[in-house]
Amino acid sequence: MNAHQRPHDAPRLAIVVKGYPRLSETFIAQEMLGLEQRGLDFDIWSLRHPTDGAVHMLHQQIKAKPFYLPEYLWHGPLRVLKGFVHALTNPHFGKTLRAFWADLKRDPTPNRMRRIGQAFVLAREMDPRIGHIHVHYLHTPCSVVRYAAQLRGIGFSFSAHAKDIWTTPDWERREKIDDASWGVTCTRDGLAELRRLLLPSAQERVELVYHGLDLRRFPAPPTRNPRDGARAGDPVRFVSVGRAVKKKGYDDLLQALATLPPDLHWRFVHIGSGELKEALKAQAAALGIADKIEWRGALPQDKVIATLRDADIFVLPCKEGPKGDRDGLPNVILEAATQALPILSTNFAGVPEFVIAEETGLLVAPGDSAALARDLNALARDPALRARLGQAAHKRITTAFSFDAGVDDLAAKLMANLMRTAVA
């Protein structure tokens, strides 16, 4: 059954993502599942096919069927051609072409051409009952959605997260926000940056909605062995979850691990894929610590949780990456908190919005490997400190970062858009 054959006559929603499913984007999957549970009927459209070898249980619970655009236009030339011919007869084609041409003059790249081609396909192939589009990420996915929504004569909204906020030009973000019905972002840091672009009268066009976590998916924290690194046969267990990219700070972490005192016995487990993984392995070998590190690659969430439960300390030393790229509030920090792990991170981006220094974790300056080593050593040798910080982090995730509140807000906004479409 294709997208045009689904039952029901009510207006429907399309959710557009860059790739689906992705192991690194559980926050998007849990949101989709939450929207389904609140009665929203939608199709998922993805710019890319999945590249991970496994899927989360969350993805298996989502009933919406994914549809895939041609990642490169030569992957689906007939679909692109049909989309273009269909667009030529569209009364909104002129408006869309003017928007595209204005963008192309400022960004004359093959990527821009690919986005308009994908938009032609999306506008033609979407279920005719789609009355609103919601897109994750304000950069390339939003370009496709903006053009497609213009062609279809419907509204769109966006969720902005991290890299898309900090690496997209001001003019492009501003114009997309102006064209959108509304948008949300998941950190105060990101909200301030997006509102910086807007006139005072338009500030409320973008709102803060934390992802939070659906705690029903997580077991209660385990009882941990109060190990202190004094015995070689029972080393302290550090863990981190994140892609091997510059902004995660793993080069700083390896440097810190290499300078820990020789009488401290430790092991480090990394979960995640990424372009720098081989370089990091080479760095660990050069520092003489490769035998203490386990690189597990990308894992489904049940195995991630099992690893968190087996660990003593969670560490993620975020910093600014190339071209201003940065994290928002990494979801893995919240996941570590569900297991009452003490968190060591950096005073950067959205991290301090959850990790309160000396209360729910420890924070160091980005790029400060000496401070990382100092705090890793302190946490490793002090089980009581770890327990206090971990319990406080668990209390904060259960009381201040409600998943239900955030997804209820999104569901209400999206439902209101669909109701307006139905009335029109």
Q: How far apart are CA 335 and CA 326, in angstroms?
A: 19
Domain-wise residue ranges, the chain? 3-212+402-423, 218-400
Amino acid residing at 242:
G
Residues of the chain where predicted confidence (pLDDT) is lower than 50: 1-7
Residue 5 has a pLDDT of: 44
Q: How far apart are CA 399 and CA 393, in angstroms?
A: 10
Contact 151, 126 (CB under 8 A): no
CA–CA distances in Å: residue 66 to residues 15, 98, 147, 273, 365:
9, 30, 20, 23, 41
Q: How far apart are CA 47 and CA 30, in angstroms?
A: 19
Question: In the CATH hierarchy, which top-level class contains the domain 218-400?
Answer: alpha beta
Q: How far apart are CA 336 and CA 80, in angstroms?
A: 44
Q: How far apart are CA 402 and CA 113, in angstroms?
A: 40
Please report where in the chains the tokens 């496994």 appear, as a residue: 54
> What b/e sequence results for 117-140 when a residue is b if at least 16 CB atoms lie within 10 Å of its CB, and e otherwise?
bbbbbbbbbbbebbbbbbbbbbbb
Using DSSP's 3-state secondary structure scheme, residue 220 falls into coil
Task: At 362, list the tokens.
Answer: 């420890």
Q: How far apart are CA 112 and CA 129, in angstroms?
A: 27
Q: How far apart are CA 145 and CA 357, in angstroms?
A: 40
Question: In the CATH hierarchy, which top-level class contains the domain 3-212+402-423?
Answer: alpha beta
CA–CA distances in Å: residue 360 to residues 38, 59, 336, 424:
32, 30, 11, 49
Contact 154, 421 (CB under 8 A): yes
Residue 276 has a pLDDT of: 97
Q: What is the mean pLDDT of the chain?
A: 93
Q: How far apart are CA 337 and CA 399, in angstroms?
A: 12
